[in-house]
Each structure stands twice: as C-alpha cells, then as structure tokens.
Amino acid sequence: MKSRYFDSNRQSHGFQFVEDTPLTPDENHFAMLRTSEMSIDWVPFLKSKRRFRMKSSKIFAGVTMALLSVALCAVAVGQDHATAQEVVAKVREAASTLSKTGDVAQFNQKQGPWVWKDTYIFIHDCSKKVTAAQPIKPEMIGQDISSIMDAKTGKSIYPDSAAYCKQVQDSPSGVWNEYWWPKPGATEPSRKITYHLAVKGTPYIVNAGIYSDKTTIAEASKLSGGK
C-alpha cells in the first residue's frame, strides 16, 4: 500500500522515485523477523525510509551543485579583469611587434589579439602628438593627445604632450599614469592605471591599463622594473 504522505512530498518537491522498490535480502529478513515478533508489517516502513534517504541525497546533491555554480561564477568574474602583470606583458609584446612591422592598423581591431578581458592596447604617435590607434573608441584616432580629458575631473590627462612623450621615451622600463576612464561598454568612469612604453626606433608609445581602486603607481612600477 502506498503512503499518501510520501506521494504528496515527492510531488511538491519535484522528485521522482521508483515506487515499491524491492527490499534487499537483509532488509527483507529484518522485516520478516520484526513482523513475526511484533505483528507489525515492517515492509512499508522500510520502503518509506529508503525513499526518504533517496530524497535527502537528492536535496544534498542539489544544494552542492548550487554552491558550486556560485563559486564558478565568482571565479569567472575574477578572470574577466586584466591584471597589471598581463598589461606589462601585453604592452611589451605589442611594442616588439610594432617595432618589427610598423603596422599601427592592427591595433584598431576590436576583435583582435590586442583587446582582452576588460582592457586593450592603444597607440600614441609622438611625432604628430596624436592618438594613432584606439580599438574601443575609434573616433579618438587622430585626436591631439593634450585634448584627452580625465572622465571624472575634466582635466587633460596629458597637458604637455611633448613632456609626456619625452618622459616615456627616456624611460626604458616604461611609465605608469593614473586617471579616470570608462571601462569598455560602460559610461561611468573608473580609476585606471595605464602603462606607457616607447617603441624603439619609432615615434610610437604603446599603452594599456587596468581598472583598479587599490593598485598604486608604486606597486605597478615594481612589476615593470621601474623605481
């Protein structure tokens, strides 16, 4: 005879079980002994107990999977943010590529290798004092460097473009700069720490940054070999 209590619980929780699963030999022997001793049919009780264990196991498995999903999402979010180490490596790779090919256009490709996670490579031309490549904001290509404004303060990020170019070109390990700029796809500005590195034998400066509220210029400089 089926128990209405367990049937209703299975329906309310969406679990499905095989009805009247045969008992194991040990369970059947135990049921027969207790039935003969106490004149109580133990078979329905043992089956109900088994179904309860199955239900508890499935609930536990469901909770475990939910917690695992949350953990994986947290890891994925963390992986979407570029690190200062990645920026240094990518900028140096881009500088090496640009020195060999002289091809600035490749850095304008939004789906190219120079755009990753939440950041990207952009190029300044110090001979013309303009932005030479910008994959996220192509409208900035050709814009005077000194007219690029901090998105929070409204002040020029490079007020003296000649001094900026000289400072970077005179630093073999590159220079870090701090300002506010929107992340790709965002409208509100975030604090950005950008790494600038001159390309030897060319007028170009390769740049890329991270969005961070905590990383300092001093910490970033240690990663690039600066003081």
All structural domains of the chain, each given as residue ranges with its CATH number in brackets, are 4-78 (no CATH), 84-224 (3.30.450.20)
Q: Which of 161, 86, 85 is nearest to 126 (CA)?
A: 161
Amino acid in the structure at residue 48: S
Highest mean pLDDT among 35-49, 74-88, 156-170: 156-170
Please tell me the number of Cα atoms within 13 Å of 147 on its side-chain side: 8
Q: What is the pLDDT of residues 114-167, one digit of tens each?
A: 999 999 999 999 999 999 999 999 999 999 999 999 999 999 999 999 999 999
Q: What is the pLDDT of residues 55-73, one digit of tens each?
A: 556 666 665 566 555 444 4
Q: What is the pLDDT of residues 184-198, one digit of tens each?
A: 999 999 999 999 999
- Would you state the pLDDT for residue 226? 77
Q: What is the pLDDT of residues 8-29, one digit of tens each?
A: 344 444 434 344 556 677 666 6
User: If you average pLDDT over every residue of the chain, what do you get?
Assistant: 82
Distance from the Cα of residue 20 to its chain's centroid: 49
pLDDT average, residue stretch 34-52: 56
Q: Which of 88, 70, 134, 72 is nearest to 108 (CA)?
A: 134
CA angle 120, 155, 175 (to 5 degrees): 45
Q: pTM higher than 0.95 for the full model? A: no
Describe the chain by its helix, strand, coil percentages, rounded to 5.
45, 20, 35
* 8 A C-beta contact, residue 132 and residue 144: no
pLDDT over 60 at 78, yes or no = no
